[in-house]
Amino acid sequence: MNKISVLLMCFACAGSSQAQPTASGPQDPNLSCVKALELPTRGLIAVWAESGTVNARIHINSRGGVRRLELRGGDTALQAEVRVAIGMSDFLPRCAGQTVSVVFAFKLEYPAVADITPPGVRFRPPNRFDLVFRHRKTHLQLAPPPPPPVEEEQQPKP
């Protein structure tokens, strides 16, 4: 179990007793059904997107997997990041038929950087994760540049 999973479980226990309404709707986000939540922090898609917030409603199946995933808000790139992360997450089989609600707030900051850097992550009870990424500089080179032309020696004409 990684550090983020342990932190999430601690926050789920603490947050469930003091749940407050969020922009995603339900007062109880049901984080106690989370066994391990993968956060959308890989950044491979998000660094090209715009800032935005994605609300995820995860419907749990009998094996503790995702039966259905509803995503609202954000652009398609941010939703793709969330979809991949939720697909890698695990939920408790005892929660089959229940729904977990999580809010992922992506913030893309400038100046852009050449490499993908780890995002800043902050948990805000009861179910919000703020993810701060740096925009990535574009270094798109589809093919190597052609070699420089070779200058031929010119012979004087007789």
Cα separation, 130 vs 141, whole angstroms: 32
Which phi and psi (to 5°) does residue 128 adopt? -110, 135
Cα separation, 120 vs 134, whole angstroms: 9
pLDDT band at residue 86 using 50, 70 and 90 as cut-offs: very high
Helix (H/G/I), strand (E/B), else coil: 1: coil
Has residue 22 been placed in a domain?
A: yes
pTM equals 0.69
Secondary element (H or E) of residue 13: helix 3-17
Is 90 exceeded by the pLDDT of residue 13? Answer: no
pLDDT band at residue 142 using 50, 70 and 90 as cut-offs: low
Question: Residue 9 sits in a domain of what CATH number?
Answer: 3.30.1150
Has residue 100 been placed in a domain?
A: yes
Which range of residues forms the domain containing residue 45?
3-136
| Number of CB atoms found within 10 A of residue 155's CB | 6
Given the structure tokens 């995503």, which residue do they identify? 71
Tally of domains within the chain: 1
